[in-house]
Amino acid sequence: MTKTHPTNATNNSSIIAPAATTATTRKIPSFSFEAYLSEKADKVNRALDEAIPLQKPMKIHQAMRYSLLAGGKRVRPILCLAACSLVGGDDATAMPIACAVEMIHTMSLIHDDLPCMDNDDLRRGRPTNHKVFGEDTAVLAGDALLSLAFNHVAEKTKNVEHCRVVRAIAELALAIGSEGLVAGQIVDLDSEGEKISLNELEYIHVHKTSMLLEAAAVCGGILGGGESTEVESLRKYARCIGLLFQVVDDILDVTKSSEQLGKTAGKDLATEKATYPRLMGLAKAREFAGELARKAVDELSHFDALKAAPLYHLAGYLATRQN
Amino acid sequence: MTKTHPTNATNNSSIIAPAATTATTRKIPSFSFEAYLSEKADKVNRALDEAIPLQKPMKIHQAMRYSLLAGGKRVRPILCLAACSLVGGDDATAMPIACAVEMIHTMSLIHDDLPCMDNDDLRRGRPTNHKVFGEDTAVLAGDALLSLAFNHVAEKTKNVEHCRVVRAIAELALAIGSEGLVAGQIVDLDSEGEKISLNELEYIHVHKTSMLLEAAAVCGGILGGGESTEVESLRKYARCIGLLFQVVDDILDVTKSSEQLGKTAGKDLATEKATYPRLMGLAKAREFAGELARKAVDELSHFDALKAAPLYHLAGYLATRQN
């Protein structure tokens, strides 16, 4: 367990500029975001548990459940539910696609951890999927989660116009393919050990992280019955918090201990990986995170403040998270 | 190059019982199946080529195109087009899902060939995807093809009721997940070196092979505007020819030379893999293939014979193919 920057690691205050935090809190009506997060995460966990019963063939369903039900903050599905509710939909409407987004996220983690990719042995404090079930099963568990995601959206989305379901599926599928998540992953793999520019770093993060968050918000908005302008505001909001999520991740890697993060800290530094603090300096990276949080929150001004409260808080939460 | 059964390998006649061939040819109006196959395969190849332009990031699109455009008989997409046309639809209507089915089939081949799975170096006479692009890219190329398949169906299917598009996506996704293709693959991997029963062998083949063919036919029928009873006849037809395809594959493996097959013959025998000839004997396996061809063709009796000609011939073609 290494503390890379012990002086910063002891600083428990917000990692972004105070102005941003003020901006995110100023407009927010009284609302317990922690209670909201916990209630929605429970709901998502129950839905995910039901989505994959432990049935034959046992091994593949065990492997799928092992990674899907391993906890995690459920940021993506909660974003999807919040976006749906913002435009007037309810949780039941968005839940199938919220679950689909989490299945896809889990698939990407399982495949990323494979020996031929990032070769990680630990994920969320537990052995990675291929360490427990073998590489062959891990590849298949990812494939099965990806296809189940689409089956789930197509079969379980009730009381929604079919044209909206089709639009949501198109968005979701685009976000994870060779113009989305996979594009980010391949450019990331190809740039290992190379010197990359800030533009290239942003390309990687927008594709690896933002696009799935964007799809989560956009699909929630589409299924919830949102107008095109509402859906586009949600898209811009999510694109900002997606990048914000990654910038904060990079900052935490150099400012926190492994113990505080629950994963190996200083890993980016040790592997000479390009990060925002490395390319723009820690102070500028914090400023950039603040700017992204402000931009995200600006997009919410088009909506009713009370309804937008969860998304206001989500931006603040992602900007100020400590692990 | 080993000839496992030289006496059989020289026999160029139908590998199934003659009765079946008669049954499949008797009812067929004059129709050039070879010209049909070649015309449809060209059409499918052009659509696949257009579906994945060579764009940035170059490497992932090269890898996807390398395996997707490597030839192959295009049986699945042609089945999809034929099913659509049988119920009154045109090729343009079914083409997006025909392409999607081929993308999914290609994904399953790329992932199956990985070192952690079947560890194959050659596919269709060329080095496998991971041999050319690396294992990491091969995993990602498969993932990207799978997601592109769903994007393609959702975005490119025009002039079809959205409810039919959603139904088709649900069918397709179910066919490849942990209750479809992946289920067959995991049971196959788990039974390596084990003694398995005829029922288990059928489970593997129905899931690994039949279900995607079934989805191809069913989705073609759904998008083409087919009634439920028509779609169910197509389902039963495709389930039979899916299993037929596999039984014939097993028979060819022990009766043909590597040269005749264009791939390593006698591989099943060498690896002690369970096959139909091994479990029921060669004569009974041929009888079973004939029975499946007859059952498939029986399902077509509900349709206009002229319109059903391609599917009659397809069953005959799969039953009598020599490689």
Q: Determine the pLDDT at residue B158.
A: 86
Whether the bond between B6 and the residue before it is cis, its omega within 30 degrees of 0, is no
Q: How confident is the model at residue A321 (pLDDT cuts 50, 70, 90)?
A: confident
CATH of domain A33-320: 1.10.600.10
At position A240, the amino acid (one-letter code) is C
- Closest to A61 (Cβ–Cβ): which among B137, B178, B180? B178
Among A111, A145, A147, A204, most B C-beta atoms within 10 A, so best to mutate, is: A147
Q: What are phi and psi of B68, to 5 degrees?
A: -70, -35
Q: Determine the pLDDT at residue A129.
A: 98
Ramachandran quadrant class, A55 (left: phi over 0; alpha: psi -120 to 50; beta: rest): beta
What DSSP string describes A3-55? -S-HHHHT--S-SS-HHHHHHHHHTPPS--HHHHHHHHHHHHHHHHHHHS-S-
Q: Are A315 and A297 in contact (CB under 8 A)?
A: yes
Rounded (5°) CA angle B201-B290-B215: 60
Q: Give me the residues of A, 27-86, that contact B with CB < 8 A.
A: 52, 57, 59-61, 64
Q: What are phi and psi of A77, to 5 degrees?
A: -65, -35
Cβ of B258: how many Cβ atoms within 10 Å?
A: 17
Task: Quote the CA–CA distance of B276 and B67 in Å, as a whole number.
Answer: 29
Whether the bond between A57 and the residue before it is cis, its omega within 30 degrees of 0, is yes
Residue with tokens 């939909």: A89
Contact A173 B60 (CB under 8 A): no
Size of interface A-B (CB pairs under 8 A): 156
Q: Which CATH architecture has domain B25-320?
A: Orthogonal Bundle (1.10)
Q: Give me the residues of A, 231-290, that contact B with CB < 8 A.
A: none
Q: Is B136 on the interface with A (CB under 8 A)?
A: yes
Round the CA-based radius of gyration of chain B to a whole number and report it: 19
Among A112, A151, A207, A223, most B C-beta atoms within 10 A, so best to mutate, is: A151
Task: Quote the CA–CA distance of B174 and A152 in Å, as a whole number.
Answer: 9
Closest CA to A166 of B175, B105, B81, B161: B161
What DSSP string describes B187-213? HHHHTTTS---HHHHHHHHIIIIIHHH
Whether A18 shows a pLDDT value over 60: the answer reads: no
At position B292, the amino acid (one-letter code) is L
Tokens of B318: 């799969």
Task: Quote the CA–CA distance of A182 and A199 in Å, as a whole number.
Answer: 18
Q: Is B139 on the interface with A (CB under 8 A)?
A: yes
Helix (H), strand (E) at residue B293: helix B282-299
Q: Determine the pLDDT at residue A58.
A: 97
Q: Determine the pLDDT at residue A264.
A: 66
- Closest to B166 (Cβ–Cβ): which among A139, A154, A189? A154
Tokens of A88: 């007037």
Render pLDDT for A255-311 as a digit per residue (tens, 0 to 9).
877 667 666 666 666 677 789 999 999 999 999 999 999 999 999 998 999 999 999
The C-alpha of A57 sits at a distance from chain B's nearest C-alpha, in angstroms, of 6
- Closest to B186 (Cβ–Cβ): which among A111, A137, A172? A137
Residue with tokens 């004997």: B281
Q: Is B132 on the interface with A (CB under 8 A)?
A: no
At position A224, the amino acid (one-letter code) is G
Q: Is A143 on the interface with B (CB under 8 A)?
A: yes
Task: Quote the CA–CA distance of B308 and A150 in Å, as a whole number.
Answer: 31
Q: Is B185 on the interface with A (CB under 8 A)?
A: yes
Q: Name A58's Cβ contacts closer than 8 Å, sequence gap at least 6.
A: none
Tokens of A96: 């199938």
Among B56, B116, B167, most A C-beta atoms within 10 A, so best to mutate, is: B116
B64 contact residues in A (CB cutoff 8 A)? 178
Contact A165 B167 (CB under 8 A): no
At position A203, the amino acid (one-letter code) is Y
> On the CB side of B228, how many CA atoms lie within 13 Å of its CA?
0
At position B77, the amino acid (one-letter code) is P
Sign, CA torsion A201/A208/A189/A286: positive
> On the CB side of B39, how many CA atoms lie within 13 Å of its CA?
9
A52 contact residues in B (CB cutoff 8 A)? 178
The distance from CA B294 to its chain's CA centroid, rounded to whole angstroms, is: 19
Rounded (5°) CA angle B74-B78-B82: 170
Among B182, B189, B196, B219, most A C-beta atoms within 10 A, so best to mutate, is: B182
E-strand stretches of chain B: 122-123, 126-127
B183 contact residues in A (CB cutoff 8 A)? 57, 60
Tokens of B89: 């639809």
Tokens of A301: 């001004």
- Mean pLDDT for the stretch of residues A95-122: 97
B107 contact residues in A (CB cutoff 8 A)? 143
Q: Determine the pLDDT at residue B233.
A: 98
Contact B140 A186 (CB under 8 A): yes
Rounded (5°) CA angle A59-A156-B149: 70
Q: Determine the pLDDT at residue B255.
A: 86
Q: Give me the residues of A, 152-181, that contact B with CB < 8 A.
A: 153-155, 157, 161-163, 165-167, 169-170, 172-174, 176-178, 180
- Closest to A139 (Cβ–Cβ): which among B52, B139, B162? B139
Closest CA in chain A for residue B188: A57
B158 contact residues in A (CB cutoff 8 A)? none
Strands B122-123 and B126-127: antiparallel
ipTM: 0.90
A173 contact residues in B (CB cutoff 8 A)? 147-151, 154
Tokens of A299: 């997009």
- Mean pLDDT for the stretch of residues A29-45: 91
The C-alpha of A231 sits at a distance from chain B's nearest C-alpha, in angstroms, of 18
Q: Determine the pLDDT at residue B6.
A: 34
Ramachandran quadrant class, B321 (left: phi over 0; alpha: psi -120 to 50; beta: rest): beta
Contact B189 A136 (CB under 8 A): yes
Domain ranges for chain B: 25-320
- Mean pLDDT for the stretch of residues A121-140: 96
Q: Are A318 and A75 in contact (CB under 8 A)?
A: yes
- Closest to B60 (Cβ–Cβ): which among A143, A146, A182? A182
At position A10, the amino acid (one-letter code) is T
Whether A127 shows a pLDDT value over 80: the answer reads: yes
Tens of each residue's pLDDT in chain B, 323 residues = 333 333 333 333 444 543 444 444 455 557 899 999 999 999 999 999 999 999 999 999 999 999 999 988 999 999 999 999 999 999 999 999 999 999 999 999 999 999 999 999 999 889 999 999 999 999 999 999 999 999 999 999 989 999 999 999 999 999 999 999 999 999 999 998 888 999 999 999 999 999 999 999 999 999 999 999 999 999 999 999 999 999 999 999 888 776 676 666 666 666 777 899 999 999 999 999 999 999 999 999 989 999 999 999 999 999 998 87
Helix (H), strand (E) at residue A122: strand A122-123
At position B286, the amino acid (one-letter code) is R
Closest CA to B35 of B321, B313, B320: B313
- Closest to B150 (Cβ–Cβ): which among A64, A117, A173? A173
Contact B165 A166 (CB under 8 A): yes
Task: Quote the CA–CA distance of B102 and A288 in Å, as a whole number.
Answer: 44
B167 contact residues in A (CB cutoff 8 A)? 154
- Closest to A178 (Cβ–Cβ): which among B107, B148, B180? B148
Contact B144 A177 (CB under 8 A): yes
Residue with tokens 């919410």: A300
Q: At what angle do helices A91-113 and A211-223 cross, to 10 degrees?
A: 160
The C-alpha of B157 sits at a distance from chain A's nearest C-alpha, in angstroms, of 10
Closest CA to A76 of A48, A110, A114, A56: A48
- Closest to B143 (Cβ–Cβ): which among A140, A146, A163? A146
